Structure 1
Amino acid sequence: MAFFETSDGVKLYYQQQGEGNSIVLVHGWSADHTAFDLSFDDLSKNYQVISFDLRGHGSSDRPEKGLSLKRFATDLEELMEYLNLQDVTLVGHSMGGATTFEYVRNFGVHRLKSVSIFDMTPKLVNEGEWNLGLYHGKYTREDSLNDLTVINEDFSEFAKPFFKIVVPYLTEDLLNEQLDLVVDNNTPHVLSAMWHAMAVSDFRDVLPNITVPTQIVYGEKSTLYSKETAAYLASQIPHAKVVPFENCTHLLVVENPAKTTEVIEEMVKLTYNRK
């Protein structure tokens, strides 16, 4: 197992495989690097692929400090610097997408060749005229505060209704099996801090600064974000295109790893003019 130590003393687990152009995969909230496992091996046949556990997740340290998207973005920059990565295809799913937005806000695109955002919004909470956030525009500031209270009191009480919405096709037995894994593999104070971090973030002003070729990928059956959210992102990012995943929910990277591999590889080939 490989670990990298950040500038504030937190050890992050990462895996690196393959040779060639660099692809960095950033997982979502309550997940870890294994979210991309089914694509990792295929991509690494032709490219250098790096996936890692964000602080507080997976096999990385679970500190009390640095639980913010800004620190996550700094961790990402420090890891890429440590591995001497340039011209990176940066792929972010869900909170990994928020981390990507925060990365561009703080570090620009000098290290990036292209970006792929999988099923994420630039602003989670719906308020004012903004209705392209969580739950297809139906998640309010009050909802976020209520959820934070429940997560802090008993994460399992939040997890079941949340994941039932995220993956509505699971049977009760399969849902409970997955919930046991999520609850056992996560730390409530981390999840609470990062839910809050996403809820208070607004990356709409960052989008025009993503000046490298960008894919906006969304699940056509996602119960979290809509095709209108994807269209908005593509309209605000200069060189972006929308890529729908048919019959997929928010967990599209797990549900269709073959297409995940295909669209990431397509972006790498496009930006490097590979055939």
Structure 2
Amino acid sequence: MKDWWRATFPQGRQTVTITDANGHPVKIAYGEKGTGKPLFLVHGVASWSYNWRYLVDTLAQHFRVICFDAKGHGFSEKPLHPETLGHQAVELERIMRRLCDQPAVVVAQSLGALVTLATAQNNPELFSELVVINVPIFLKKLPFWGMQLLADLPLDLVRIADDMRLTKLFAPLMRQIVAVGRREVVSDPAQITAEEVYWITYPYIEFPNALTKTAEDLQHAAREIQFLVKNQPNLIRNVQDKLSAIATPTLILWGAQDQWFPFQDGEKLHAHLPSSKFQLIPNCGHDAAANCPDEIYSAILEFCRTSPPISLGTSKEGV
């Protein structure tokens, strides 16, 4: 199939090197399109920049769109060293500082939205507006059985399967599992195509250590959820407790047919964010960026048009 990066971005896939949360240099894959105010797109777990395939072109008519793969995902580097708990928020901050020198609009979905809220709490100067979509902030378990399976497997076993390239050997089966899983995140299964399943699974089939890094993140998430349910100290509770401190104008978008996280969670999040607006998207599942991109696009434009400007200094620390 065609090179998705080359077909989507004028300069194709680019890379930028940051220092990760462990102190190691790591290469991050990204693409950008358009001019004007910067707008970052932040994907969720077990995903990559392809998640935003229907929004890059339209948003690039109004913004400098920057779309990147988080470390361990997509085409970004997948280091062998163990990950630090909460590394995603540290690395999002560093990616934003490397690629942008002014406050940006940030649009984030699912786990990417939770990471973005944590980043905004500690680095408000990086954000002008914030759009979060279907945020897993009040969850009680991992939403999909495939995620839970990876979280339960010993990481050494996952690594052996990765080293043996079993995902490539069993690529048809893996694509079938993903196709079944897609039925839970879109409101209309007829939207699921062979091409999108091919690209969603591409990094796991083609790149060593991709499955291991996703499993490691899911295992961290599963433990944090267990601590949350047991009312023990955890990173998710830390984000919950500091929501009221976020002064960045925030739009909360939620798919009315999200089977993973109910829209009542979005209403609850809105109640904890004084500077937020809440909008329910009808006929839309969890993967809203792919399921209802026109509605997401219109909501982003209207929100950015009507949001009051904020004035915050930009720091270069932590680059």
- The alpha carbon displacement at 1:267 in A equals 2.2
The alignment partner of 1:49 has SS state of strand
- The alpha carbon displacement at 1:31 in A equals 1.4
Q: Give the corresponding residue for 1:44.
A: 60
- The alpha carbon displacement at 1:150 in A equals 4.8
The alignment partner of 2:66 has SS state of strand
- The alpha carbon displacement at 1:66 in A equals 6.4
Does the alignment pair 1:62 with 2:73?
no
Structure 1 residues 81-100: aligned runs within 5 Å: 81-100=97-116
Unmatched segments (≥5 aa) in structure 2: 1-12, 162-166, 168-173, 205-209, 225-234, 310-319
Structure 1 residues 63-212: aligned runs within 5 Å: 63-65=79-81, 67=83, 70-105=86-121, 107-125=122-140, 148-150=151-153, 156=174, 162-167=181-186, 169-170=188-189, 181-186=199-204, 187-199=210-222, 200=224, 201-202=235-236, 203-212=239-248
Answer with 150-159 or 177-186: which moved more.
150-159
Equivalent residue letter for 1:189: T
Taking the aligned partners of 1:151 and 1:170, their CA distance within structure 2 comes to: 33
Task: Answer yes or no: is the 8 Å Cα contact 1:219–1:248 preserved in 2.
Answer: yes
Task: Answer yes or no: is the 8 Å Cα contact 2:50–2:200 preserved in 1.
Answer: no
Q: Deviations over 1:110-161 (max 9, x none)?
A: 11111111011214326xxxxxxx65xxx9xxx9866512595588597576
In structure 2, the CA distance between the partners of 1:180 and 1:21, relative to structure 1 (3 Å rule), is closer
Taking the aligned partners of 1:243 and 1:36, their CA distance within structure 2 comes to: 19
Q: Give the corresponding residue for 2:171.
A: none
TM-score (normalizing by structure 2): 0.71
Taking the aligned partners of 1:158 and 1:197, their CA distance within structure 2 comes to: 23
Q: Give the corresponding residue for 1:6.
A: 18
Q: Deviations over 1:191-245 (max 9, x none)?
A: 1122233331412113112211111111011101111100000000111111111
Unmatched segments (≥5 aa) in structure 1: 127-133
The alignment partner of 1:254 has SS state of helix
- The alpha carbon displacement at 1:164 in A equals 4.0
In structure 2, the CA distance between the partners of 1:23 and 1:253, relative to structure 1 (3 Å rule), is same
Taking the aligned partners of 2:154 and 2:281, their CA distance within structure 1 comes to: 30
Task: Answer yes or no: is the 8 Å Cα contact 1:5–1:12 preserved in 2.
Answer: yes
Q: 2:263 aligns with which of 217, 224, 227?
A: 227
Taking the aligned partners of 2:262 and 2:154, their CA distance within structure 1 comes to: 25
Taking the aligned partners of 1:217 and 1:88, their CA distance within structure 2 comes to: 18
The count of aligned residue pairs is: 259
Q: CA RMSD in A?
A: 3.0
In structure 2, the CA distance between the partners of 1:182 and 1:24, relative to structure 1 (3 Å rule), is closer
Equivalent residue letter for 1:125: K
Task: Answer yes or no: is the 8 Å Cα contact 1:26–1:96 preserved in 2.
Answer: yes
Equivalent residue letter for 1:190: K
Q: How many percent of aligned residue pairs carry the same amino acid?
A: 21
Task: Answer yes or no: is the 8 Å Cα contact 1:108–1:209 preserved in 2.
Answer: no
Equivalent residue letter for 1:241: K
Taking the aligned partners of 2:33 and 2:180, their CA distance within structure 1 comes to: 37
Q: Deviations over 1:61-86 (max 9, x none)?
A: 11133645632222222222222332
The alignment partner of 1:204 has SS state of helix
TM-score (normalizing by structure 1): 0.81
Task: Answer yes or no: is the 8 Å Cα contact 2:30–2:68 preserved in 1.
Answer: yes
Which is higher, the Rg of structure 1 or of structure 2? 2
Answer with 8-17 or 262-271: which moved more.
262-271
